Amino acid sequence: MSEALHPQLAGVIAEFDAATADARRLADSLDDAAFARRPAPDRWSPAECIAHLTITTDVYLPIIRDAVTRAKAMPGARGRYRCDWKGWLLARSLEPSARFKIKTPPRFEPRDLGAKANVMNDFVRSQEALEALVRESSGRDLRRVKIVSPFSAKMSYNMYSCFKILTAHERRHLAQAREGGA
């Protein structure tokens, strides 16, 4: 019998589900040309915003998978999960309401996107893989397991923070995509 999903992680999954639904609504509301059109030469199209989210998730998946494995070797968690201070600060800085820009490293920049259906299928696939890892981490001590950011080796945060960073990152780029691009 499987353990019940921790309520905070059910909330994280709901945030990922909301991002997936938001991306689908956006893609459905635009024809292929509008989906791929940049609002300005230095801003990303809606397709590029969503592809960037897929790239980011795909980079994080093996890191999170490793963290889940490490968490399984530790005693389980009790009580509430909490972000550590670095994770909390980074998640806050990634919310759509944050008004400063963060330069995207080249490995996370979208290239050769292909058709709208491919961009969306890749995004949904990455979301499903991420949600599976969130479910698998339930009941584990996500506060003690550290993840090194693939954006900067100098930055690490706990596993729960990682989930909250990713949900904030998705909200930010989907808001940009709805506004016509990043």
How do residues 68-88 score in pLDDT, each as one tens digit? Answer: 999 988 887 778 899 999 999
Query: 3 by DSSP, 3-state: which?
Result: coil
* Domain of residue 57, CATH code: 1.20.120
Does some domain include residue 2? no
Residue type (1 letter), 87: G
- Does residue 127 fall inside a structural domain? yes
Q: How many domains does the chain have?
A: 1
- Of 49-58, 110-119, 138-147, 171-180, highest mean pLDDT: 49-58
Report the C-alpha gap between 21 and 14 in whole angstroms.
10
Averaged confidence pLDDT in the chain: 91
DSSP reduced 3-state for 156 = strand
- 75, part of any domain: yes
Contacts of 142 (CB under 8 A, 6+ apart): 71, 77, 81, 158, 159, 160, 163
Residue 125 domain-assigned (yes or no): yes
Residue 87 lies in a domain: yes
**Domain of 102?**
7-178
**Structural domain contains residue 130:** yes
Considering the chain, what percentage of its residues have pLDDT values greater than 90? Answer: 72
User: In sequence order, what DSSP letters do the residues of 57-82 get, joined into one string?
Assistant: HHHHHHHHHHHHHHHHTSPPP-S---
- pLDDT of amino acid 76: 77
pLDDT of residue 1: 40
Of all residues in the chain, what percent carry a pLDDT higher than 70? 97
Q: What is the largest CA-CA distance in the chain?
A: 54
